[in-house]
Amino acid sequence: MIEIDSGSSQGKPSARERLVEAGRLPLSQWPARYPGYPAMGYLCSYVPLELIHAAGFTPVRVRGHHSLALRHADAQLQSFTCALCRSSLDQALGGELNFLVGTVFAHTCDTMQALADLWRMNSPPSYFVDTVMLPTHLRTPAARPYLIAELRRFRERLSTLAGRPVTDRDLRASIALYDETRQLIAALQGRRNRLSAPDWFAILDAAQTMPREVYNPLLRRLLADLEEAPVRGAGPRLWLVGAVLDEPRLLDLIQELGAQVVGDDLCSASRLFQGQVGDSDDPLAALADYVLKRTPCPAKFDPDHTPGNSVLDQVRQSPAQGVVWVLEKFCEPHAFDYALARPVLDRAGVPYLLLEMEQTPSLEALRTRLQAFLEML
């Protein structure tokens, strides 16, 4: 299929090519690609990126790698912890993340909390490490004032690191920039069928590593380029669900087997870019409200959220024919969500497949299971 690549005819990479390349760039190459942007690492979508940006740092999401053997992490974390935490720590211990001025965690699961402690223990005293302690029950009367106080504490720590106050004006400007990204990705969702699955997820990965000042103009160019792009060919239509998708070879496999990914509910993809924070006289409170109202992580409790109904509603509003649950092995919170969702999907007659991802997954085993599922569809 011919891709429309604005700029390629002049020998320059198109917006799509630049974004896809950035999404697949190893983090060790980040400082050479973006000089002049001090980078702050983060591992969870609950980390308030706007506050980090308002303090003058570029948030860079640290992601796992499934294709490389671990070199250092096994001495620090048990083998029954998830590949995301083990491979992220492995990169830090191996020196690939030395360009970061610090790393910010959000308290979700016990393994992530242990990882934050290990990160701090293995970092020099000058390295910035913080954990944003979000409420576990998102609908108690105390959740909102508690979270506002926690964000205020985090802003004060960032101000100390930056050597200047992080003002409400700074925060409003950063919120506007990140809201623009969310608006652009919402528009891109409407043209998702003009991109391959590997390219789509690489473009969203780029948003989590590139400076947004660079990313947003490229995304606007891509939207313009896709206006006249043809819709990709037909094939079984899948909806992906899970936490993080750090195995791009799975997307290549889906494409190779002739299937399409028409939507997702992944915290490293579409779920990360839902909604808007908006302009407010109190930007810290607006940021807290945004965090509390977003689709909750399985490590959080929201009595108004039912995992199975949430997935079913999204699938029914899409052209998806089946659901593929991408589960990090040993990720208990997302495993609980899967267990709760299964009977809902069964009663609705929605086909689904569980793919459990290990540190070095067997691609042939994934191929066999996917191929059988697609033939059933």
> Could you read off the pLDDT of 119-178 as tens digits, one per residue?
999 999 999 999 999 999 999 999 999 999 999 999 999 999 999 999 999 999 999 999
Beta-bridged to residue 300, according to DSSP, are none
Is there a contact between 272 and 205 (Cβ–Cβ < 8 Å)?
Answer: no
DSSP assignment letter at 377: -
Judge residue 173's burial from the number of C-beta atoms within 10 Å of its C-beta, 0-12 exposed, 13-18 middle, 19 or more buried. middle
Global pTM value: 0.93
Evaluated on CA atoms 277, 139, 130, 208, the torsion sign reads: negative
Query: What does the pLDDT read at residue 219?
Result: 98
Structural domains of the chain, with CATH? 8-376 (3.40.50.11900)
- Average per-residue pLDDT in the chain? 92
Q: pLDDT per residue over 304-358, tens digit each?
A: 999 999 999 999 999 999 999 999 888 889 999 999 999 999 999 999 999 988 7
CB 85 within 8 A of CB 70: no
Angle between helices 143-162 and 283-293 (to 10 degrees): 120
Residue 5 CB partners (closer than 8 Å, separation 6+): 13, 14, 16, 17, 225
213 CA to centre of own chain: 19
**Single-letter amino acid, residue 160:** T
The pLDDT tens digits for 52-99 are 999 999 999 998 876 667 788 788 888 888 888 888 999 999 999 999
Best CA proximity match to 313, nearest among 345, 290, 268, 338: 345
Greatest alpha-carbon pair distance for the chain in Å reads 59
DSSP designation for 270: G
